Every structure is written in C-alpha cells, then in structure tokens.
Chains A and B, each alone.
Chain A
Amino acid sequence: MHNPYLPYPVRIAMLRVETEDKNLRTFKFEFLNLGDEEKFAYLPGQFAELSVSGQGEIPIGIASSPTEKGFVLFTVNRVGQVSSFMHNMKEGDVMGIRGPLGHPYPLDRLEGKNLLIIAGGFAVTTLRSTITWMLQPQNRPKYGKITFVYGARSPGLLLYKEEWSEWQKRDDIDVFVTIDREAPGWNGRVGFVPTVTKEVCPPPQNTAAIICGPPIMIKFTQPVLEAAGYSNDDIIMSLENRMKCGLGICGRCNVGPEYVCKDGPVFTLTQLNQLPKEY
C-alpha cells in the first residue's frame, strides 16, 4: 500500500538566496532513489510537504514545472521552526519531500482562454511553475493571450528575476513587473498590484485570472477584476492554511467543509463565496 505520509528522500542540489532580506531561499532538490521522480508526478499549483528529519514538515507550493526534468524547486520563507532550520541547511544535505498534494490549477478547463496571472510577493512560486509550463512549445498553443502582473514591495524582494527577465523578452507573454515605491536603480513600473491590474487587464471575454498573493493584495485586486467584468468562475485563487497531513485527514486546514490541502488549495471565487471568509 502506498504510504502518503512517507517522504521521498531528496538531496539539496542547489541553494539560492532569493531576496535581499535573505528571508527567502530557493531549494533545488534531486531525488535520491531512482523512480521516485516519476512517482512524484505533479502539475502546476500543487504543493508538497517538505520534510526535515527530526524537525517536522512544512507545506510549500511547487515552484518548478513538471516540464523541468531531474529536479524539483521550492522557495521557502523563513517563518517557523522547520523553515528556519532549512535556511541553515547546506547543499548536499538530505531531507524529504512528500506529495504532490492538493489540486493543480485547472489547466484543462483554461484551455482556449486568455489568462491574466497576478502574483504578489513570494506567492509567485506556483505561478512560476504555471507560466514555465504554459510557455513550453507543446502547451503554449492551447492558451490565448497570457498577461502576467507581478508585484513586490521593492526590487530586492522580487523572486525569479532570471526567469521573468527572459519572459519579458518573449512576444507570447506580456509581463508587467511592479514595485510598491520608487527605488534607486529601478527603471520598471511603480505601483501596487491592483492599480497595475486595472491598467493592463485584458477584457473579461474568454479570460480567466489566477491570483496568488498576500491577503491584502487579494482584497484589493478582487474588486478590480469584478469591476472589469470577470466572472467569479474565472477568478481562480490558491489558499493557504496551517496544515499537517496534507491528505484531508488531520483536520485544521478546513474552510467550511473543504480541506485546503485535499480539496484545494485552488478554488474559484464562486466556490469561495459560499465558504466562510474567516475559517
């Protein structure tokens, strides 16, 4: 019987400090055992429990795309016991990953649609996965126009600079990267995500939005989309909550009858409107 609690052993193949405040680190993992990578078959939007033996587990969205072979990528914010411990680990250290967990973004249902992808702060992780996946030659034709809005407080807090700089050069995706306030050396956009969204969002016809970001960003971006005429079925969000098992068993992460881990983390606004706002 498959044991969904048992992590696949992985080695930290590469570590990268992602932000100037050094609170975010990206971990590139390679599976220790042959065949585990195939078992860990995931899609953009899913997450995994990162397991540090003797310390515990944390649920983190998968930042790599399944089209990137040989490794999986996670960006971890230093918050609690496990993430702090991980920030002191070294390349070559052994830990574990358990998953994939949760549902991916509804990539099938979104086929044929234009996409507005909105990210705030370090919640960009699973959207890095999504965009990387969608820009693959075999996937790109399935979708219409792709617009990506990404904001952070300051240039130093933007993740994945290499990736979005490359995307900016492409003509099959419109990339709008913005920071909250003017900063020395920054020549790009300045302004909050909701404002930029209002300015650049494509017409709602046949368009869906995927939003990931801090609650305050979502709170102010959601009305912008509603005013622009986006239907609640086409506003897709990813939720976070305290989790342990990731399997819809241990309790705690539920919002109403739905477990964020098993039934989410991806929900449409239509679904969320039927659920308690504070869970």
Chain B
Amino acid sequence: MTEYIVKDKLTFLRALASSGYNLIAPISMKNKIQMAPTDPDKVDLDYLNTFLSPKSLFFPQTEKMMAFHKDLTKSDAFVYKPLGLDQVKPSVIFGLRPCDAKGLSVIDKIFQNNRFTDPYWNTKYEPSVKIGLACLNPGPNCFCTAVGGSPFGEIGLDAITLVRGNGFGLKTLSAKGEEFLKNTSGLEIGDLTGEIADLKKKVEASLPLPLDLSKVQGATILSIFNQPHWKTTADRCLNCGTCTFVCPTCHCFDIQDEQDEEGGVRIRNWDTCMSWLYTVHGTGHNPRPTKTERMRQRFMHKIKYIPMKQDGTCGCIGCGRCVQLCPVNIDIREVAKQMNQG
C-alpha cells in the first residue's frame, strides 16, 4: 500500500472529479451535511459526519427495480423488465468517515450474502472507489472505539486520508484504490506511517473505551432474548423508527408495486422493524405484536445476530446518530450494557 502527500485539497478534489468517475463528497444541503454528487469547489470538509449515513448512495430510500407495460398488442405485456442496472459511470466517494465505511461493509455482506447477490446494490457499490477521511476531532456522541472501530479505521475503504495543513495525507488500502490513485495528479509519494500511528493513538484516547460484550457473545440467543430489561426500555420507545432510518447498517426494505393505466413499477423502500406492519402475517397474526418485541429485534440484530453471522463484527459501528436523534433517549450503549449483564 502506498502513502502519498497531497499538497492542496481543492486541486486533489478537482483531480478526482476529472478522473472519469463521478465525484461524491460531503456538501451542505438545507443546513445539513450530506454525501451527494458535487462540483469539487462545493465540497465542505468542515463536518463531524454526514447527517444521514451514506448508505443511500447505494441503497436509496426509494428505488425502482423493474417496470412493466399493459399494451396487450405486444408480447411482453405484464412482464417485468429490470430498471437501473445499466452500466453507469462509477463514483469516487471522498470523505467517508471510517465508521460509515465499516457500516457499508456490514450491509455489503448482507446484500451479497452466501446465497444471493443483490444486483441493485452491487452495481453501485462494487465499482465505486471509497476514500475515507480520518476523524481528528470526534464528536460528543461518537463511540466507534466502543464497538471495535477506530477514527482511522480502514474497513470498507480503498484509501484513507487525513487533513494535513492545506492538503491531505493519503494511504491506499486496496488494489482498487492503488490503481485509481496512481493515475491521479497532484500526489507525491510520502511516508506517513509514524504520523498516522501517533495521531491514531491520540484521537482514540479521546474516545470511549471498548464496550464489554463478552457475555453477549458467550450467551445463548434465548438467554439474551428473554432478559427482563427489554420491557423496561421499551416502555418509553415510541417505535418511531428514527434509529433505523439514520443507521448506517440498517438495511431493511419493503417491496411495493405501483401502477397506472399504462403500466407499473416494482419499487423498494426503506422499511423499519419498528413498524407493526413489518412482520404482520396475512392471517393477522403478528410474531412481534408489541413495541417490546420490535425494539428487542433491533438490538438483538445489531449486537447479537450480526456478530454471529459476520465473524464477531458488531452491527453497531458507533456513529452515534441514533443516540443523538432518538426522541426518547434510548441509547444503544446502555442497552448493550444491559444485554451484557446477563
């Protein structure tokens, strides 16, 4: 892996934008920092993190999957044809926070699982070059270090940068990143190893200590599932789903058909396990009948099920969005502690 010195931020961003890739980077929209396609001049690097997680770049809130027409004079009437899978210009995403990049890689293992590949995710996620921006000044609700991450984390990234004076330090992390950046102008080979190690140590020290989840790992599913604290915590849960919509690893969706006189589309929309409708059977039976079961599902999924399925990787990446935005202050760190108390 190669380490580079980038002298000037804007020159570098302009080089990324003229690389034949779409530049996606943090910009200010309606007073919120969001990841979006942008001109290099509009990129805003003075941000703690993007307001929403970057998952919507690969998994938008609403996505048309296929369409059909009702013209019976044609032989393919009522036959669905896929949408949105054409080869498009790939993206270079600059400024991903390491927590979010890790979150994307958690979703990636679900969208490209041991049996199926989701083509709608794959065609966007795979070709994109993901360049991270290390956190030098984490926020009050950040806790990546509590759940196995780091402000300099490398998972899910093709390269990582850190702000360094007027420019960046840059380190490539994958063959894809290496290949992409070797042709980018304005880079000078440099040595950042010591600098990164020092900064990493310093910033990590300002963040919370790792959560003890050893008992959660060791315990059976049923023993955690049946703990009494679920009911107490759920007392104040509104089942509003804000946590799930802002979460970088929440990936559930609903599939809906919409039609008019001429034809129709099949769409997928973000969905939430906090919703009653999410699990209700056609018969009316609901295996998660109250908010307690629904809230428990979310935390079990993040803290028990995903680690079981992904070699111990926690389903929470510590970005702090749900902690910040939950209207009734259900704090995943407190829930995790209760789960670990047995």
Whole-angstrom CA separation of A204 from B66 in the bound complex: 50
Residue contact B77 to A51, C-beta cutoff 8 Å: no
> Which chain B positions have C-beta within 8 A of A275?
221-222
CA distance A83 to B115 in the complex (A): 27
Q: Is the pair A257, B282 in contact by a Cβ cutoff of 8 Å? A: no
Mark contacts of A1-45 with chain B using CB atoms, 8 A cut-off: 1 yes-contact digit, 0 otherwise. Answer: 111111101000000000000000000000010000000000000
Chain B nearest CB, measured from A30 CB (Å): 14
A276-B225 CB under 8 A given contacts A7-B80, A53-B78: yes
Task: List CB contacts (< 8 Å) of A84-107 with chain B.
Answer: 94-96
Q: Is A171 an interface residue (CB 8 A)?
A: no
Contact of B252 among A83, A251, A279 (CB under 8 A): A251
Contact B66 A1 (CB under 8 A): no
A252-B273, A257-B309 given; A56·B113 CB < 8 A:
no
Cα–Cα, bound, A52→B113 (Å): 27
How far apart are the CA atoms of A238 and B220 in the complex, in Å? Answer: 23
Cα(A94)–Cα(B74), bound, Å: 13
Q: Mark A210-253, 1 if CB is under 8 A from B, else 0.
A: 00000000000000000000000000000011101101111110
Q: A263-277 CB contact bits vs B (8 Å, 1 = yes)? A: 000000000001110
Is there a chain A Cβ closer than 8 Å to B254's Cβ? yes
Residues in A with CB closer than 8 Å to B78 are: 9, 53-54, 94-95
Q: Contact between A1 and B282 (Cβ–Cβ < 8 Å)?
A: no
> Known interface pairs A256-B225, A257-B304. Does A262 touch B116 (Cβ–Cβ under 8 Å)?
yes
The secondary-structure label for the interface of chain B is: mixed
Nearest B residue (CB) for A81: B282
Q: Least Cβ distance of A252 to chain B in Å?
A: 5
Do B110 and A249 touch across chains, with their CB atoms under 8 A apart?
yes
**Is A55 close to B, CB under 8 A?**
yes
Residues of B within 8 A of A262 (CB): 113, 115-116
Q: A4 and B116: CB pair below 8 A?
A: yes
Tell me the smallest distance from the CB of A101 to a CB of chain B, in Å.
9
- A80 on the B face (CB < 8 A): yes
Residue in contact with B255 in the complex, picked from A3, A80, A96, A245, CB distance below 8 Å: A245
**B-side interface residues, number (CB < 8 Å):** 56
- CB closest residue in chain A, given B107: A249
Residues of A within 8 A of B48 (CB): none
Q: Which of B9-17, B31-39, B117-125, B185-193 is near enough to bind chain A?
A: B117-125
B252 A9 Cβ-Cβ under 8 A:
no
Contact check, B116 vs A249: say whether CB atoms are below 8 A apart. Answer: yes
Q: Known: A6-B82, A247-B116. Is A276-B222 also a contact (CB below 8 A)?
A: yes
User: Is A199 positioned at the interface, with any CB of B under 8 Å from its CB?
Assistant: no
| Interface membership of A278, Cβ < 8 A | yes
Is A56 in contact with B255, judged by CB distance below 8 angstroms? yes
Pair A5/B68 contact, Cβ less than 8 Å: no
Establish whether residues A276 and B251, one from each chain, have CB atoms under 8 Å apart when the complex forms: no
Complex: A257 Cα to B307 Cα, angstroms: 10
Task: Flag if B110 contacts A252 (CB, 8 Å).
Answer: no
Closest to A262 in B: B115
CB distance from A86 to the nearest CB of B (A): 13
A248 touches B115 (CB 8 A): yes
Q: Which of B151-159, B194-202, B256-264, B323-331 forms part of the interface with chain A?
A: B256-264
Q: Is B97 an interface residue (CB 8 A)?
A: no
Residues of B within 8 A of A249 (CB): 110-111, 113, 116, 118, 251, 253
Distance of B57 from chain A, by nearest CB (Å): 17
| Contact indicator A247/B113 (Cβ below 8 Å) | yes
Interface residues of B in 190-248 (CB under 8 A from A): 220-222, 225
**Chain A CB within 8 A of B293 CB:** yes
Do the beta carbons of B113 and A276 come within 8 Å of each other?
Answer: no
Closest residue of chain A to B304, judged by CB? A257
Q: Does B288 sit at the interface, judged by CB under 8 A?
A: yes
Q: Give Cα A7 to B82, complex, Å.
A: 10
Which residues of B sit under 8 angstroms from A83, Cβ to Cβ?
282
Cβ-neighbour of A251 out of B85, B122, B251, B258 (below 8 A): B251
**CB of B175 closer than 8 Å to a CB of A:** no
Q: Is the CB of B252 within 8 A of A1?
A: no
* A247-B253 in contact given A6-B66, A7-B80, A274-B222 (Cβ < 8 Å): no
Cβ–Cβ contact A57 & B259, under 8 A:
no
Decide if B30 is an interface residue (CB 8 Å cutoff).
no
Q: Are B79 and A96 in contact (CB under 8 A)?
A: yes
Residues 297-316 of B at the A interface (beta carbon under 8 Å): 297, 300-301, 304-305, 308-309
Q: A244-B255, A257-B304, A262-B116 are in contact. Are A279 and B221 (CB under 8 A)?
A: no
Interface flag for B51 (CB, 8 Å)? no
A83 to B87, CA, bound (A): 36
10 extra interchain contacts, Cβ-Cβ under 8 A, other than A2-B119, A252-B278?
A1-B85, A5-B119, A32-B79, A53-B257, A54-B68, A58-B282, A247-B116, A249-B253, A251-B253, A252-B279
* B residues at A contact (CB < 8 Å): 65-66, 68, 76-80, 82, 85, 110-111, 113, 115-120, 122-123, 220-222, 225, 251-259, 263-264, 266, 268, 271, 273, 278-283, 287-288, 293, 297, 300-301, 304-305, 308-309
A-B contacts, 30 of them at CB < 8 A, read A1-B85, A1-B119, A2-B119, A4-B116, A4-B117, A4-B118, A5-B119, A6-B66, A6-B80, A53-B78, A53-B259, A54-B68, A58-B282, A79-B282, A79-B283, A83-B282, A241-B281, A242-B279, A244-B253, A247-B116, A249-B253, A250-B253, A251-B271, A252-B279, A256-B225, A256-B300, A257-B304, A276-B221, A278-B287, A278-B293
